[in-house]
Structure 1
Amino acid sequence: MQTDKSAALPLAGVRVLDMSRILAGPWCAMVLADLGAEVIKIEHPERGDDTRDWGIRIGATETAYFNSVNRNKRSVSVNLQTPEGVEIARGLASKCDVVIQNFKPGGAVKLGLGYGDLRAGRDDLIYCSITGYDHTGPEATRPGYDLVVQGEAGLMGMNGEASQPPLKFGVAVVDLFTGMYSAQAILAALYQRQRTGNGRSIEMALFDCGLMITAYYGLEALLLGEDPPRYGNAHPSIVPYGVFDAADGPLVITVGNNAQFQRFCREVIERPDLADDARYLTNLDRSKHRAGLLPEIHRELLARKRDDLLARLTQANIPCGEVLGLHEALTSQRASDAGLVNAYDHPVAGRIDLLSPPYRFDGERLPVRRIPPPLGEGTADVLSELLEIPGERIHALKAAGVI
């Protein structure tokens, strides 16, 4: 499903070989694909990417999990455990600007698909390796898993309510951020290559990225010399700011400055006494005395309907919103108006929903040019077009289990 505007996309003309699987690497490759790169995804001929077996089935070989990270790609099924399969991968790499892999540490080199192997005669190759831990450290050979790193990087320790045990995030945030960081690094390398003609070897680690996204919480822990308190749906530094219960459902209220607090007390909950209380005049004071302030606010909010509160907050120019379920959010008028969820024709499953890329260029959202591919969908075409392998040879490789 190509579009007439493909040539105008920012990364049009860039070709990427995606030898990664699961989430971090495929997410990185999908970012580049969304921006216009031609992405060729290498998969095992029988099982494909592990995520083809995760979550809700769509069609014969796809799942919701797989589809969430593999739009705008072609699938080429190659058995890298065969010499012929490795030669095919090497041939495809020679036709690509970027290679992404997240094999177990040392796995790519063992197969003959490491940076040194593929860079021979290719000074302009950009090669991105994604592992669990620093490539040069004592844990370099450990496999990386999002949930493990969420624990080790302190992310579970900063998430959730203080009364709860450590809590993982709802999605695999370490994998997702690592994918985004990796895509940023590749874009920087592509930009540099325009000036120098040289490629780069990029090394990314889940733990490194996991630690980075602790952000201000991480720096506060270093300043305190211990873990900062956990506030769950409340903000660690701003009061009142978080999720609150109205009489008929939850809502988000973000009182970001002292003027907003004055309006919140006088116009929204009609408690001028709180606005005038010396303990609550500044945010630093409110943070210090949150234990006395928040019960008063909770009491007032529980006595009012959510729609009434939202109207009053909006009138007072205080940012606010409903707390929606995931399906509610995806099917909301807001998501529809933005064109974020669209239906596409699938050869087996009929009409399927996909999220659209979040980017807009010159006012237009970047398109879904290809739906997530069935396993091996592009094998024959890609091998014929890029490697000029004749049809008879392709049939023989398939019969031998190479593709």
Structure 2
Amino acid sequence: MHLPLQGVRVLDLSRVLAGPWCAMVLGDFGAEVIKIEHPRRGDDTRDWGARVGETETAYFNSVNRNKRSVTVNLQTEAGQRIVRELVQQSDVLVQNFKAGGLDKLGLGYEQLKALKPELIYCSISGYDRSGPEAARPGYDLVIQGEAGLMAINGEPQQQPLKFGVAAVDMFTGMYAAQAVLAALYERTRTGRGRHIEMALYDCGLMISAYYGLEALQLQKDPPRYGNAHPSIVPYGVFDSADGPLVITVGNNLQFERFAREVIERPDLADDERFKTNAGRSAHRDRLLAAIEPELRRYPRDWLLRRLADAGIPCGEVLGLHEALTSDRTRTGQLLHHYAHPVAGLPPFWARARPMCCASC
């Protein structure tokens, strides 16, 4: 298979999540990624979560696939010389050292630019590297709090709630990968490299998206709706007689079909208060009080069939393990099993059903 970044070499000096995620995305597109780690400690995430073999974890492996790892002591002249030699053979460098950290080692952008002007150098930090908080370390949970993301997550009666995954780190890694791809494209026209600076706080603020714009428009925090949508009703997680399901009524025609054909409440479809989404949103509590008891009367599978027949997007609420091992995941070939050189095959491999590869 020909991948678009074949022939591109990435030098990954980053650790933990945001930087390694960026480099991994580039590796997924075909780039050769060389990960530089400390000879004694390695990447911090080698010690986080479920153990795989002797020196790896599920966390580490989830952000470092398609890479080769080399240990280099950057505090020594020999280690710095090795990195400079690798830079001369590389197209991209990704790093998330504290502001000024690599400059002290002779490996900052300006120093390496003099060595290789066409180098694309991506610096990932917690905060603006030219601002007053440049020296602060960046941690996903802290940024989720400071960027207002925890304040829009969870039920109204709860304390602010973090996302289930490190969303700021992951989005920052994706934004960084996008910027690197843009810089690689620019280099084909200009022959010049570029210094990319990506801050977790900036990315965390950006992913507030429409919530952020509503907060500016309202001049206050928008309400929290938990699993419901802030502006579309009914849209969220609902209880059936035997389990939760997701129902997303996206427009007025869908609501009419939902009321008449699914829950058999034509009076709701005829009610002037509920004929438009704006009206349904304004009368959210009254409408949900009428809908929720109706949904609890029926089994989930029955509701899913009725909703699908009515053309209303819907789905089960699965556990993570259920989703990963579902027929949908299997037929989409989203999981690939490989034998680990130390740990061997994963423990679930023997119980998994065979999955064909694309070349079968």
Structure 1 runs of 4+ off > 6 angstroms?
A: none
Instruction: Give, as a single letter, the amino acid of the residue that structure 2 aligns with 1:299.
Output: P
- 1:49 paired residue number: 43
Match of 2:139 in 1: 145
3-state SS, counterpart of residue 230 of structure 1: coil
- Measured against aligned partners, the alpha-carbon deviations of 1:48-93 in whole angstroms (never above 9, x if no partner) come to 1000000000011110000000000000011112221111111111
| Residues 117 and 192, structure 2, Cα contact 8 Å, conserved in 1 | yes
Which residue does 2:273 correspond to in 1? 279
Tell me how far apart the structure 1 counterparts of residues 325 and 215 of structure 2 sit (CA, whole Å): 39
Give the corresponding residue for 1:85. 79
Task: Give the letter aligned to residue 227 of structure 1.
Answer: D
Query: Are 1:73 and 2:67 an aligned pair?
Result: yes
Secondary structure of the residue aligned to 1:243 is strand
User: Is the partner of 1:351 in helix, strand or coil?
Assistant: coil
1:311 is aligned to 305
Give the 5 Å matches for 1:1-400: 5=1, 8-352=2-346
Judge which range, 133-142 or 264-273, deviates more: 133-142
Q: In the aligned structure 1, how far is the partner of 2:346 from the partner of 2:70?
A: 22
Quick one: distance in 2 between partners of 1:65 and 1:194? 35
Deviations 1:300-345 (A, max 9, x none): 0111100000000000000000000000000000000111112101
Q: Residues 264 and 316 of structure 1 are in contact (CA less than 8 Å); yes or no, is this contact kept in structure 2?
A: yes
2:135 alignment partner AA: T
Q: Which has the higher contact order (CA 8 A, sep 6+)?
A: 1
Q: Deviations over 1:177-230 (max 9, x none)?
A: 000000000000000000000000000000000000000000000000000000
Counterpart code for 1:70: N
1:353, distance to aligned residue in structure 2 (A) = 8.5
Q: TM-score of the superposition, structure 2-length normalised?
A: 0.96
- Give the alignment's Cα RMSD to 1 decimal: 1.4
User: Residues of 1 paired with 2:312 and 2:347: CA distance?
Assistant: 34
**Code of the aligned partner of 1:68:** S
Q: Would the aligned equivalents of 2:8 and 2:91 in 1 still touch at CA under 8 Å?
A: yes
When residues 365 and 226 of structure 1 are mapped into structure 2, their CA distance, relative to the original with a 3 A threshold, is: farther
Q: Secondary structure at the match of 1:118?
A: helix
- TM-score, with length taken from structure 1: 0.86
Structure 1: 5+ residue runs without aligned partners?
355-363, 367-403
Aligned-partner SS, 2:339: strand
CA contact (8 A) 1:341 1:353 kept: no
Deviation at 1:121, TM superposition (A): 3.4
| Secondary structure of the corresponding residue to residue 253 of structure 1 | strand
Q: Residues of 1 paired with 2:97 and 2:57: CA distance?
A: 22
Report the residue type matching 2:297 in the other structure. A
CA contact (8 A) 2:229 2:235 kept: yes
Partner in structure 1 of residue 354 of structure 2 = none
Q: Structure 1: which amino acid aligns with 2:5?
A: L
Please state how far the C-alpha of 1:110 moved relative to its aligned partner.
Answer: 1.2
CA offsets 1:138-163 (integer angstroms, 9 cap, x no match): 11111111100000000000001110
Number of residue pairs matched? Answer: 351
1:352 deviates by: 3.2
Alpha-carbon separation, structure 1, partners of 2:248 and 2:261: 15
Task: For 1:329 and 1:43, locate their aligned partners in 2 and report how far apart those are by CA, in whole Å.
Answer: 33
User: After alignment, is 345-354 or 204-213 more displaced?
Assistant: 345-354
Give the conservation status (yes or no) of the 8 Å contact 2:87–2:116: no
